Amino acid sequence: MLDQEQCRQARLSRDRRFDGLFFVGVKTTGIYCRPVCPVRPPLEKNVLYFPSAIAAANAGFRPCLRCRPDSAPGSAAWQGTQTTLQRALRLINAGALQETDLPALAGRLGVSDRYLRQLFERELGVSPKQYALYQQSLFAKKLLHETRLPITDIALASGFHSLRRFNDCFRKQFQLEPRAVRKANGEAGGGIQLFLASRPPYHWPLLQRFLAARLIPGLEWCDEHSYGRSFQMGNARGHFTAQFDAGRCGFTIDLALDDLQHLSQVVQNIRRVLDLDADIALIETTIAALFDLQQLPHSGLRLPGIWDPFEAGVRAILGQQVSVAAARNLVQQVVDAFNPDAAAGIRFFPAPEQLAASNLDFLRMPASRKATLRAFAERAAQQPVGDDPTALLGIKGVGPWTVDYIRMRGLSDPDIFLARDLGVQKALAQCRHPIDPDAAAPWRSYLTFHLWNLP
Residues 142, 183: Cα–Cα separation, whole Å: 10
**Catalytic site residue 249?**
no
Residues 283, 184: Cα–Cα separation, whole Å: 38
Q: Count other Cβ atoms within 10 Å, centred on residue 366.
A: 10
Q: At what angle do helices 102-109 and 83-93 cross, to 10 degrees?
A: 130
Residues 405, 418: Cα–Cα separation, whole Å: 8
Residues 426, 316: Cα–Cα separation, whole Å: 20
> Could you tell me the CA-to-CA distances from 346 to 82, 217, 232, 238, 363 in Å, in that order?
40, 9, 12, 10, 22
Torsion angles phi and psi, residue 246, rounded to 5: -65, -35
Among residues 74, 4, 3, 5, the alpha carbon closest in space to that of 34 is found at 74
Torsion angle defined by CA atoms of residues 431, 437, 439 and 442, in that order, rounded to the nearest 10 degrees? 130
Residues 297, 19: Cα–Cα separation, whole Å: 24
- Give bridge partners of residue 251 from the DSSP assignment: 196, 244
Alpha helices (runs of H) in 214-350, residue ranges in sequence order: 263-273, 280-290, 309-318, 324-337
| 442 upstream amide cis, omega within 30 of 0 | yes
Decide: helix, strand or coil at residue 451.
helix
What is the DSSP-derived secondary structure letter of residue 394? G
Residue type for 321, please? Answer: Q
**Catalytic site residue 37?**
no
Catalytic, out of 15, 259, 336, 421: 421
Residues 6+ apart with CB under 8 A from 78: 1, 51, 52, 55
Catalytic, out of 7, 33, 67, 169: 33
CB-based burial label for 128 (10 Å; 0-12, 13-18, 19+): buried
Among residues 97, 106, 54, the alpha carbon closest in space to that of 75 is found at 54
Residues 6+ apart with CB under 8 A from 184: 148
Residue type for 51, please? Answer: P
Identify the helix (H) or strand (E) that includes residue 205.
helix 204-213
Note whether 451 and 419 are within 8 A (CB): no
Strands 62-63, 192-197: pairing kind: unpaired
Residues catalogued as catalytic: 33, 421
